[in-house]
Amino acid sequence: MIDSHLHFWQYSPDDFPWIKGDLAPIAKDMLPKDLCPQLTDNIDGIIAVQARPCAAENDYLNDLAQQHELIKGIVGWFDFEQDADRQLEVFKRNPKMKGFRHMLQDEKNPSAYITHHKGFNAGVEKIQQAELLYGVLIHQKDLDAAVQFCQRHDRHELVVDHLAKPQMYSKAGFECWIKMMQRLVPLKHVNLKISGLVTEGGPNCKAEDFQAHLDMALELFGPERLVWGSDWPVSYATHSYTQLMDFWQQWSQQWSDSERLQVESGTAQRLYKL
């Protein structure tokens, strides 16, 4: 099983201003040595994803990947204010670099950034030309702009993190989320990551709170376009790794063995070229 979404950091308030409020329990160093005792025996690979919007983040994750065989790939940070070709020349020499992400959700107006930022759109185009994936980090409210973005950028794989952070505990919100997901279905290069849901659901959420979202994701996209990730240690602020694994077992208990295996490892192997 591959955990396709984890973060590591040496904590400082200036580097991680988003770690506050309910996330206060993870305002400390969160390193591979803190994770490994929690992993179940069936986790045989992980993908480390950027958590800071700075060039130093890529060097930090790369150093960790050299030290820990368990880290099979990196989704790094890309600076869309700088020359894309120069960055890609460096990144393409690193086989552990599987793709990039920008913290779109933290932009002042994510939808406007997605739609109008020339450097961003030009950079994603070059990332796709290099056959590297791009991770789309948004909330549900920005899905309309994200769908149009996915339609524009169809040269290589896109991964929508955390099921686009759906609006929870709202029938109207759920119905809107479905409509947006349906618009993504014809875009075969778009994949969904089953991750980060407990952060959206809150500390008291239960597996059943997300079952309808998981069932709909499977129905619309099939297992070949779904990939699982824990979002540790962000998720660890409210739920242990064991609880996350229990949630996954509950969500997928009605799935076939082949469907579960595809989401647990097959899709990750394809997306991250493992």
pLDDT digits (tens, 9 = 90+) for 7-59: 999 999 999 999 998 899 999 999 999 999 988 888 999 999 999 999 999 99
User: 10 Å Cβ neighbour count for 46?
Assistant: 27
- Give me the amino acid identity at 261: L
What's the pLDDT at 152?
Answer: 97
Q: Structure tokens of 201?
A: 């659901």
Confidence at residue 43, expressed as pLDDT on a 0 to 100 scale: 95
Question: Which parts of the chain sit beneath pLDDT 70?
Answer: none
Q: What pLDDT score was predicted for residue 113?
A: 97
- Could you list the residue range(s) of the whole structural domain that residue 13 is in? 2-271
What pLDDT shows up at residue 92? 83
Q: pTM for the complete prediction? A: 0.95
Say how many Å lie between the first and final Cα of the chain, rounded. 12
- Number of domains the chain is built from: 1
Residue with tokens 């993870």: 26
Backbone angles phi, psi at 89, to 5 degrees: -60, -40
- The pLDDT of residue 2: 97
Looking at residue 249, its pLDDT comes to: 95
Task: Give me the pLDDT at residue 110, please.
Answer: 97
Neighbour-count burial of 274, counting CB atoms closer than 10 A to its CB (0-12 exposed, 13-18 middle, 19+ buried): middle
Say which CATH number the domain at 150 has: 3.20.20.140
Distance from C-alpha of 190 to C-alpha of 136, rounded to nearest angstrom: 10
Give the DSSP letter of residue 9: B
The answer to whether the beta carbons of residues 190 and 225 sit under 8 Å apart is: yes
